[in-house]
């Protein structure tokens, strides 16, 4: 039985400046599954994404493997240097397939439903990061992000390109970007304890409500180990609820075990895992 990949429709541009196309996985010309390939510009590079990969029940027989490998070939032809696959936590067979094909887990998505605004610990307060503080904060945020990207397996060129592109895209108006919360946490001393970057509406959930996203939680190096990461996360929950948002998500790199334990203790649960590999 011959397995082929057939376009379901034309390529379409994405809002981020890439392109996307949906494909049918066919057995002897009969559709038995589908997938989508997408390119995402990361500075001077293109990254690929495989999404919507599914094979109808009873039609497995290696067709998921065929679909993933065929998608990689499409993305190579589109000039992509890397490929990511965002896999739901419940899809264990898909995670196993990714590992078999040489993908490694880079990152986890976690989420929490918010109900009651928590109190901040005594002795700490939050202050807005304004235009005068933004350049210094942004440089620190970029360096921290590059460090995490390098730890997740990216090359230095890939990490710097992704960091520059992401910050330009997500903060086009700097500290005054609409829908963005930038805060520094302060204690009794003159120096900030840490900083929070929160996007109040990254997308709408199927039920209709907005999903906020923790973009950066960073504790100053001199103040680590004293629970300030938890305080920043409590601040994020308070800011969400003050804006009428009841669902909060975040990304955490797989190697950051300290952060994973913190988020788990606060009631966040894994929703997706991101696997990736280099396309040669």
> What is the tens place of the pLDDT at every residue in 231-253?
999 999 999 999 999 999 999 99
- Residue 152, pLDDT > 80, answer no
Instruction: Quote the pLDDT of residue 60.
Output: 64
What is the phi/psi pair of residue 225, to 5°? 85, 10
- Region 109-131: mean pLDDT is 95
Instruction: Quote the pLDDT of residue 59.
Output: 64
111 vs 263: CA distance, rounded Å:
9
270 vs 239: CA distance, rounded Å:
22
**Residue 233: alpha-carbon gap to chain centroid:** 17
CATH architecture of 112-273: 3-Layer(aba) Sandwich (3.40)
Could you give the C-alpha distances from 208 to 111, 200, 201, 246, 268, in angstroms and in order? 16, 14, 12, 11, 20
- Region 28-36: mean pLDDT is 93
19 vs 167: CA distance, rounded Å:
21
Share of the chain above pLDDT 90, in %: 72
Could you give the C-alpha distances from 125 to 212, 215, 245, in angstroms and in order? 21, 20, 21
What is the phi/psi pair of residue 72, to 5°? -60, -40
Q: Model's pTM, two decimal places?
A: 0.85
Q: Domain extents for the chain?
A: 3-80, 112-273
28: left (phi over 0), alpha (psi -120 to 50) or beta: left
């Amino acid at each position: 039985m011959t397995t082929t990949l057939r376009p379901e429709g034309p390529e379409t541009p994405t809002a981020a400046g890439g392109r996307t196309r949906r494909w049918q996985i066919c057995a002897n010309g009969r559709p038995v599954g589908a997938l989508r390939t997408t390119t995402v510009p990361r500075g001077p590079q293109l990254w690929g994404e495989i999404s919507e990969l599914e094979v109808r029940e009873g039609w497995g027989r290696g067709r998921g493997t065929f679909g993933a490998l065929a998608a990689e070939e499409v993305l190579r032809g589109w000039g992509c240097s890397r490929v990511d696959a965002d896999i739901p936590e419940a899809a264990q067979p898909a995670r196993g397939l990714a590992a078999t094909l040489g993908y490694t887990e880079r990152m986890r998505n976690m989420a929490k439903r918010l109900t009651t605004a928590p109190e901040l610990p005594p002795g700490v307060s939050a202050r807005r990061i304004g235009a005068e503080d933004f350049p210094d904060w942004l440089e620190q945020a970029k360096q921290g992000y590059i460090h995490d990207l390098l730890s997740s397996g990216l090359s230095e060129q890939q990490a710097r390109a992704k960091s520059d592109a992401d910050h330009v895209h997500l903060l086009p108006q700097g500290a005054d970007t609409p829908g963005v919360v930038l805060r520094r946490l302060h204690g009794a001393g003159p120096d900030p304890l840490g900083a929070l970057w929160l996007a109040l509406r990254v997308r709408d959930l199927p039920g209709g409500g907005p999903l906020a996203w923790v973009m950066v939680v960073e504790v100053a190096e001199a103040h680590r180990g004293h629970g300030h990461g938890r305080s920043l996360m409590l601040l994020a929950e308070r800011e969400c609820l003050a804006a009428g948002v009841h669902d909060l998500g975040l990304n955490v790199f797989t190697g950051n075990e300290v952060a994973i334990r913190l988020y788990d203790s606060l009631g966040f649960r894994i929703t997706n895992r991101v696997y990736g590999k280099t396309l040669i």
